[in-house]
Amino acid sequence: MIGLDTANRVYTVPGLPSNKFTVTSMVDVGTALARLSILASDNPSSVPDYVRLSGDAVSFADLAKIVGDERGETIEVKSTSAAETKQKLIDNPADLLSHVKYVNSLEMS
């Protein structure tokens, strides 16, 4: 199974736990949209047709450390074979939810 199970202090990820992905906060998105709106009102041609936003680059190992430090716990990070996970999903795409689990036990503030 792949997922973030904070309640049981285990994160299981496909591939290497050190692989980075990006996270972007709603505040960052709102700020970018406001700035793009101002640019568009001043000079519409200055705003590109497509914009890619990227906040911070973190890994699941980083995320486990951050969450664990915040909670005063150690979160174990396990990995599964990315190729095996991919093949299972190719073989049975309707079975996606049996391979992915997200347990949100953190309070949103």
Using pLDDT thresholds of 50, 70 and 90, give the confidence band for residue 99.
Answer: low
With tokens 């992915």, the residue in question is 100
User: Per the structure block, which two tokens stand in for 66?
Assistant: 């951050």
- pTM of the entire predicted model: 0.62
All residues at 6 or more sequence positions from 47 whose CB lies less than 8 Å from its CB, including other chains: 36, 39, 40
Per DSSP, the three-state class of 100 is: strand
CA 56 to mean position of chain CA atoms? 10
pLDDT of residue 108: 39
Q: Is the pLDDT of residue 14 over 50?
A: yes
- Is residue 68 within 8 Å of 74, Cβ to Cβ? yes
- pLDDT tens profile 18-59: 988 888 889 999 999 999 999 999 999 999 999 888 888 899
Distance in Å from the first CA to the final CA of the chain: 28
